[in-house]
Amino acid sequence: MSIAGFLDPGLWLSDAGGPRYLQLRRRIEEAISTGVLPPNTPLPPERELASMTGLSRVTVRKATQAMAEDGLITQRQGSGSFVAPRNRRIEQSLSRLTSFTEDMARRGFHTESKWLERGVFLPSPEEQVALALGPDDSVSRISRLRLASGQPMAIERAALPVDLLPAPTEVATSLYEVLERDGHRPVRAIQKLSAINLGEDDAGLLGVDPGAAGLRIERTSYLPDGRVVEFTRSIYRGDSYDFVAEMRLVNS
Ligand code: 16G
């Protein structure tokens, strides 16, 4: 589809959809993530975007400026705006215990998940150890491919004791939102990171070549009383994430 056809306002603009510049931004982001506007291609000039969408140039400028600030497009003096090269890197603090949905929302990205597995199972030996469960206890598992504004970011496989998440199918978007609702949101976590080369299946899900660099992250999260609420094994795309840790001098 041409960009003019894709931006036809009849397809996406609505009175109930919130501020118009945000609706336009989302639509342009969709054009980028679906390949209608591939990386490094020029964005139509402001005047053309205004006539394609029926929006004012002020609204168009507000949308493109916000996208430039977030690194989705680059503005070059005299030659207009271009779609940024693929693989924006995300800088993620290692000191805040936040959820994927919260992290992405803070950056203005829309979160989506594709379900890989969701249900109640018998725990694997590794899950028994991590969650302090016996072989006959049950474990709730939710495994998802997580996307930020259409770009695959990570595969997350979470396991929780069934009494803390009795109905895994209730998790529609955010696991931490459901845990918070039930008074089981973790307050502390230990995370282990290691470098890997992605196997064929994981690489396929993440949209990269087999053997590409990835990060394996294991998060064990705790309730205020010290009980383990979550044991999550994730695989992140190595080209999308920078994890940042803050360190302080400890006075001995
Ligand atoms: C983060 C956590 C993951 C947690 C998820 C909840 C890392 C490496 N992992 O992605 O352990 O289960 O957030 O996100 O940070 P949600 O509330 O959006 O489902």
Residue 252 lies in a domain: no
Q: Give the whole-number percent of the chain exceeding pLDDT 90.
A: 67
Residue 251 lies in a domain: no
What is the rounded average pLDDT of the residues 105-132? Answer: 92
Residue 73 lies in a domain: yes
What is the β-pairing status of strands 151-161 and 228-237?
A: antiparallel
Domain boundary among 60, 83, 106: 83
Over the stretch 31-66, which tens digit does the pLDDT of each residue have? 887 788 888 899 999 999 999 999 999 999 999 998
Q: Are residues 142 and 238 in the same domain?
A: yes
* CA 174 to ligand 1 centroid distance, Å: 8
How many DSSP H helices and E strands does the chain contain? 8, 10
CB half-sphere exposure, 23, CA atoms < 13 A: 18
Over the stretch 10-28, which tens digit does the pLDDT of each residue have? 999 999 988 999 999 989 9
How many structural domains comprise the chain? 2
101 neighbors 145 (Cβ within 8 angstroms): no
What is the rounded average pLDDT of the residues 105-127? Answer: 91
Q: Say yes or no: CB of residue 156 within 6 Å of ligand 1.
A: yes
Q: Are residues 115 and 225 in the same domain?
A: yes
Q: Say yes or no: CB of residue 29 within 6 Å of ligand 1.
A: no
CA nearest 160: which of 209, 233, 108, 215? 233
Q: Are residues 67 and 146 in the same domain?
A: no
Q: How confident is the model at residue 167 (pLDDT cuts 50, 70, 90)?
A: very high
Q: What is the pLDDT of residue 228?
A: 96
Q: What is the pLDDT of residue 252?
A: 57
* CA 100 to ligand 1 centroid distance, Å: 5
User: Where does residue 180 fall: left (phi above 0), alpha (psi -120 to 50 degrees), or beta otherwise?
Assistant: alpha
* CA 189 to ligand 1 centroid distance, Å: 11
Q: Are residues 77 and 52 in the same domain?
A: yes
Domain boundary among 18, 50, 83: 83
Q: Are residues 36 and 104 in the same domain?
A: no
Q: Which residue has the higher pLDDT, 233 or 243?
A: 233
What is the β-pairing status of strands 151-161 and 188-197?
A: unpaired
Domain boundary among 36, 64, 83: 83
Q: Are residues 100 and 200 in the same domain?
A: yes
Q: What is the pLDDT of residue 110?
A: 84
Q: What is the pLDDT of residue 136?
A: 94
Q: Are residues 124 and 240 in the same domain?
A: yes
15, 18, 19, 22 alpha-carbon torsion, rounded to 10°: -120
* CA 29 to ligand 1 centroid distance, Å: 23
* CA 214 to ligand 1 centroid distance, Å: 17
Q: Say yes or no: CB of residue 81 within 6 Å of ligand 1.
A: no
Between CA 1 and CA 6, with CA 61 as vertex, the angle to 5 degrees is: 10
Token pair in block for residue 211: 């053997």
Residue 103 has pLDDT above 90, yes or no: no
Over the stretch 210-223, which tens digit does the pLDDT of each residue have? 999 999 999 999 99
CATH number for the domain spanning 179: value is: 3.40.1410.10
Instruction: Name the residue range of residue 36's domain.
Output: 3-83
Q: How confident is the model at residue 108 (pLDDT cuts 50, 70, 90)?
A: confident
CA nearest 70: which of 105, 23, 35? 105
Q: Are residues 52 and 162 in the same domain?
A: no
For ligand 1, atom 16: residue with the closest CA: 174
Over the stretch 138-156, which tens digit does the pLDDT of each residue have? 999 999 999 988 889 999 9
Q: What is the pLDDT of residue 219?
A: 95
CATH number for the domain spanning 58: value is: 1.10.10.10
Residue 194 lies in a domain: yes
Q: Are residues 119 and 185 in the same domain?
A: yes
| pLDDT, mean over the chain | 90
Q: Say yes or no: CB of residue 99 within 6 Å of ligand 1.
A: yes
Q: How confident is the model at residue 107 (pLDDT cuts 50, 70, 90)?
A: confident
pTM recorded for the entire structure:
0.68
8 neighbors 1 (Cβ within 8 angstroms): no
Residue 102 lies in a domain: yes
- In the block, tokens 């080369």 appear at 197
Residue 170 has pLDDT above 70, yes or no: yes
Rounded Cα distance between 41 and 32, Å, is 10
